[in-house]
Amino acid sequence: MQFEVLAKCHTTRARVCRMKLAHGVTMLPTFMPVATQAAIKGLTPQQMEGLGVSLILNNTYHLNLRPGIKVLQEAGGAHKFQGWNHNLLTDSGGFQLVSLSKFTKITEEGALFASPFDGEPTMLTPEESMSIQHAIGADIIMQLDDVVSSLTVGPRVGEAMQRSVRWLDRCIAYHQNSGRQDKQNLFAIIQGGLDPDLRAQCLDEMVKRKDGVAGYAIGGLSGGEEKDVFWRIIKQCAEKLPEDRPRYSMGIGFAEDLLVCVALGVDMADCVFPTRTARFGVALTFKGPLNLRLGKHSREFIPIDDNCPCPTCSDGVSRALLHHTVTRETSAAHAVTLHNLTFQAQVMGRARDAIMNGTFPTYLREFFSNYFGDTGYPEWCVNALRSVGVDLLEHNTDAKVVEGDGAKWEYSDAS
Ligand SMILES: [Zn+2]
């Protein structure tokens, strides 16, 4: 990996970086769409390319089950298998294993779980996770970590953090012996739950191992914790992580979360949210999400967003047609998916431009004013951005501030 910081925001901790991997350059900050089963639901690789996406995520657990490593090896790796010539990231397989298996027991050796085929006990070790990810061949691979829900409290959180550090050592050793460091880049995952002391210990230990890792992820968040705790952990981690390594915040996809994380110093994020919500008929826009299922869209003969460059909006597909077909016709799900991924790419692309131009604080104020101006700014966003020198309420003293997550939805009053 070649990694270069091109520009830094003068106010916040946001930065623009150039990350060159074996399958090309990806400019950061970026949002990574999730192609769980080696396919973004409803889109072809050519369509993804057309949206300017250069880095996507595959799930190791799912690929390992189906089509399986033998088929991927025969195909010449996951890039060839899915016809994707750009960059690819795979997770360690641990997260799905814990979330999908009814029986998972964590031991020092690895995670013991019931095989989804025959219920037989099967072990995923850090070495096995590396070996599977080597066969898949992604440009960025993730360490196996001991994952606990962000709502877990007590000694289990510290135990999982410490085990994640030991498992990182085993992943580094296996990866270094594989001779694949030129093509595949290992990322460490910072754990420690919602406890700043445990996070600090994990950061200390994992930053010491910097020579063995190409980048860092912040894990164990986005599991239903309070947003005011979430942003403080992100800030703490992003501040301590080395300047010359990319920082990846796992499982983040709401536009407001992305922009707060970028302001706190995060470079990469992924989430199934924009593609999943598209299939449920929700289109993301700079004025907030539109629930196309609502009756009020049945006579709107205008695109989702007149200014959107996506194929759906530029072809003039109307909200009325989408209202009529969404959740019923797969073509409508594809159309909204195309739009939503374009929206995510624009949120991040405009952030990069603004950081380069020295206008990122203005971009943040404009974005939040357009997105939340009428419903109220989420208090946690106001607090988080104030902590890095941006006051969303500056020049806007009438603005409403609302408690809670503040995620803006058009779900209510369904008709
Ligand atoms: Zn569009």
Locate 238 and state its tokens: 């992003």
Task: Give, as one character, the DSSP assignment of residue 88.
Answer: E
Q: How far is the CA of 290 from the centre of ligand 1 (A)?
A: 12
Q: Kindly report, as residue ranges, where domains of CATH 3.20.20.105 are found in the chain.
A: 2-272
Q: Domain 2-272: which topology?
A: TIM Barrel (3.20.20)
Q: What is the pLDDT of residue 407?
A: 58
By the 8 A CB rule, do 210 and 242 touch? yes
Task: Give, as one character, the DSSP assignment of residue 206.
Answer: H
Q: How far is the CA of 330 from the centre of ligand 1 (A)?
A: 17
3-state secondary structure of 249: strand
Q: What is the pLDDT of residue 122?
A: 82
* Helical pair 379-386 and 360-372, crossing angle rounded to 10 deg: 170
User: Known catalytic residues?
Assistant: 91, 270
Q: What is the pLDDT of residue 356?
A: 98
CA distance 54 to 48: 8
Q: How far is the CA of 340 from the centre of ligand 1 (A)?
A: 7
Q: Which residues contact 216 (CB under 8 A, 6 or more apart)?
A: 187, 188, 189, 190, 206, 237, 241, 242, 245, 246, 247, 248
Q: How far is the CA of 311 from the centre of ligand 1 (A)?
A: 7
Q: What is the pLDDT of residue 98?
A: 66
The neighbourhood of ligand 1, an ion, using CB within 5 A, equals 308, 310, 312-313, 339
Q: What is the DSSP string of 275-337?
A: HHHHHTTEE--TT--EETTSGGGTT--S-S-TT--SHHHHTT--HHHHHHHTTT-HHHHHHHH
Which residue has tokens 């006579």?
299
Q: What is the pLDDT of residue 415?
A: 31
Q: What is the mean pLDDT of each run of 10 residues along the chain (415 residues)?
A: 98 98 97 84 84 92 87 93 94 78 86 81 92 95 92 92 98 96 96 97 98 97 92 98 98 96 98 93 95 95 96 96 90 94 96 98 96 90 98 84 69 36
Q: What is the pLDDT of residue 46?
A: 87
Q: How far is the CA of 399 from the centre of ligand 1 (A)?
A: 28
Q: What is the pLDDT of residue 204?
A: 98
